[in-house]
Structure 1
Amino acid sequence: MQKAVALAYKKNQDNAPRVIASGKGLLAQNIITKAKDFNIPLFCNKNLVDSLLEIQINEEIPQILYDGVVEVFIWLNKLEEKAQMSR
């Protein structure tokens, strides 16, 4: 079954990233489709997604998941740097 979680982080507002969408099956596919529509990169980590699915919408991620989510933000930052260098 397809699973997806979308995170958001506002640097000067949030203490930690928040779950802004999550779901399984058709809902997960809709989240993925929407991300693709807006050219939002997709990071795949089954264990992290399974853990994040337990978190309520608009809730900040718990400290125990910081390391896994930091991995996502490092990956995203590298993608952004690479995209800027190719311009």
Structure 2
Amino acid sequence: MQDKDKNRKGIRHAAALQYSPETDAAPKVVATGKGIVAEKMIEKAKEADIPVYQNTELAQTLSALGIGDQIPPEVYDVVAEILIFIGSVDKSYGQDYED
């Protein structure tokens, strides 16, 4: 998950999550970045057709976590919405190749 919106200081934040329901109790942070690093993360995600979900506050919160940390319970609802969004993108992407 990444965010290319600017916060009040003009610094971009990005975070990438990984979640495997079979093995993980909650999604975990696998990458974070600020500024140019965040911009590169977003660019690489788009190049790889990885869905990008933009939410400045969430990106800032997740960027403050360490790599490998599970997301805190207070952001479960927002992350659940993102996972639903990604699931719908995956389904529509798969349908394009089934036709």
TM-score by length of 2: 0.80
The structure carrying a bigger strand percent of its residues is: 2
Corresponding residue number in structure 2 for 1:54: 64
Q: Which of 31, 36, 43 is 1:21 aligned to?
A: 31
- Deviations for 1:1-48, whole angstroms, at most 9, x for unmatched residues? 221110001222111101111111011012112212321010001111
Q: Which residue identity is paired with 1:8?
A: Q
Any residues of structure 2 matched to 1:1-87 within 5 Å, and which? 1-87=11-97
Q: Which residue identity is paired with 1:14?
A: D
Q: Which residue identity is paired with 1:23?
A: G
Q: SS at 1:15's partner residue?
A: coil
| Root-mean-square deviation (Å) | 1.2
Structure 2: state its 5+ residue gaps: 1-10
Return the offset for 1:86.
Answer: 2.6
Q: SS at 2:17's partner residue?
A: strand
Q: SS at 1:4's partner residue?
A: strand
TM-score by length of 1: 0.90
Return the offset for 1:61.
Answer: 0.4
Name the % identity. Answer: 34
For 1:57 and 1:37, locate their aligned partners in 2 and report how far apart those are by CA, in whole Å: 23
Q: Which residue identity is paired with 2:76?
A: Y
Count of equivalent residues: 87
Any runs of at least 4 consecutive aligned residues in structure 1 with deviations exceeding 4 A, and if so which?
A: none
